[in-house]
Amino acid sequence: MASAVVLECTAVSGMMLMIAGQQSRVFATSSTTTTSSKQKMDLRCIQQQSLLSKLSLSNAEMIPVVWRRTDSRTRAVATSASSSSSSSPVAVASGAPPGLDAGIQQNLKRAVAKKAVELVKSGMIVGLGTGSTSSMAIEELGKLIAQNKLKDIVGVPTSYQSRVLARQFGVKTVDLNDVNHVDIAFDGADEVDASMNIIKGAGAAHTMEKVVDSIAKQCVILIDQSKVVSKLGLAFSLPVEVLPFALSPVLRALVNLGGVPEIRTALRKDGPVITELGNMVVDVRFADGINNPAELENKINMIPGVVENGLFVNVAHKVFVATKDGEEILIVELAEFVASLKSANEGATTA
């Protein structure tokens, strides 16, 4: 068998840019601890693209690509737990991840991926999200096709990664422009609040994901319990895809909106992440989190030079949450998950 291609990212370098007339550090340095987990974000470097470009798509199934991803959420979620209001039931969920080790999280992702593909019927056009959870859903979809349980499935990938994985797992793919609708889309998320507002884009794929997810007749978001937060943006910066040409004015506009922007840096290459659409990604921190996701989503997208931001408001039709109950893994819808936390919280308060 051909040896696996391991995609891994590491270091970054520093650079200064002018924002609002002041010299500000916008490229993290490798010694900056506050950005270290972000620096490890997966599949996000230009070298990956060049590595992948060496893979002929038709041969992709012959070369198992290991999409190595360091989960950048572990630290972020721990921060979320400490900064969330203790009166919020969802904050309890955010507190769970310190006990959620990587192996368990993988099991949760796998379980929610399996559950999601049960919604697919033969003949459907399926939006294929990006990221570790979506990757598992693509794999599970491929298994059902291989077992002849599903026929005539066509996938619409949201990234190079999901295209390669679909090929690898035997899911036929087409471009979005080749179809006139998408029946169902599966996608992961970085943060989800109780109202189904979502942050995506840790993998810099949010622009294509938003297009496919938004037009899908049914958009199903797949998460483990660690992604549920009481308020968006407290622990996770908001990814914004920006035209390189417009970087400085966009950074200034983001600062004017109260954000602290940081250009996402590549790993194992000095300089920025360049998206599959040839743009840059700016991660914007909001000190008090995001108060009005719908308003912020629109305001950011109104900045000339912004291609798309990672807020997904009114896009998801369903959010499946994989949660651990003792030894058992349960898949529940978001409303049920939040309600059970609320009653657990109330029980704890009255006890």
Ligand X SMILES: O=C[C@H](O)[C@H](O)[C@H](O)COP(=O)(O)O
Cite the active site residues: 209
From 139, 183, 193, 209, residue interacting with ligand X (rule: CB under 6 A) = 209
297 is a site residue for ligand X (CB under 6 A):
no
In DSSP terms, 318 is beta-bridged to: 220
CB 129 within 8 A of CB 204: no
CA dist 206 and 227 (Å) reads 16
In this complex, which beta carbon is closest to ligand X, that of residue 219 or of residue 247? 219
For residue 32, give both structure tokens: 């900056």
191 is a site residue for ligand X (CB under 6 A):
no
In this complex, which beta carbon is closest to ligand X, that of residue 202 or of residue 250? 202
In this complex, which beta carbon is closest to ligand X, that of residue 9 or of residue 204? 204
Return the range that interacts with ligand X (CB under 6 A); candidates 31-39, 203-211, 240-248, 249-257: 203-211
CA dist 315 and 306 (Å) reads 19
In this complex, which beta carbon is closest to ligand X, that of residue 209 or of residue 283? 209
Q: Least distance from C-beta 162 to ligand X, angstroms?
A: 10
Binding-site size for ligand X (CB under 6 A) equals: 18
Return the range that interacts with ligand X (CB under 6 A); candidates 22-30, 57-65, 88-96, 128-136: 128-136
127 is a site residue for ligand X (CB under 6 A):
no
Q: Least distance from C-beta 147 to ligand X, angstroms?
A: 24
Q: Which residues contact 340 (CB under 8 A, 6 or more apart)?
A: 332
In this complex, which beta carbon is closest to ligand X, that of residue 200 or of residue 269? 200
CA dist 12 and 73 (Å) reads 19
Q: Which residues contact 211 (CB under 8 A, 6 or more apart)?
A: 158, 176
Return the range that interacts with ligand X (CB under 6 A); candidates 23-31, 188-196, 257-265, 329-337: 188-196
70: exposed, middle or buried (Cβ count in 10 Å: 0-12, 13-18, 19+): middle
205 is a site residue for ligand X (CB under 6 A):
yes
200 is a site residue for ligand X (CB under 6 A):
yes
The strand pair at 328-333 and 318-325 is best described as antiparallel
188 is a site residue for ligand X (CB under 6 A):
yes
CA distances from 248 to 111, 135, 245 (A): 43, 34, 8
Return the range that interacts with ligand X (CB under 6 A); candidates 87-95, 96-104, 184-192, 298-306: 184-192
187 is a site residue for ligand X (CB under 6 A):
yes
CA dist 55 and 78 (Å) reads 38
319: exposed, middle or buried (Cβ count in 10 Å: 0-12, 13-18, 19+): buried
Q: Minimal CA–CA distance to 238: which of 290, 315, 298? A: 290
Q: How far is CA 206 from the centre of its chain?
A: 7
From 206, 210, 231, 324, residue interacting with ligand X (rule: CB under 6 A) = 206
289 is a site residue for ligand X (CB under 6 A):
no
Positions touching ligand X (CB under 6 A) are: 129-134, 187-190, 200-206, 209
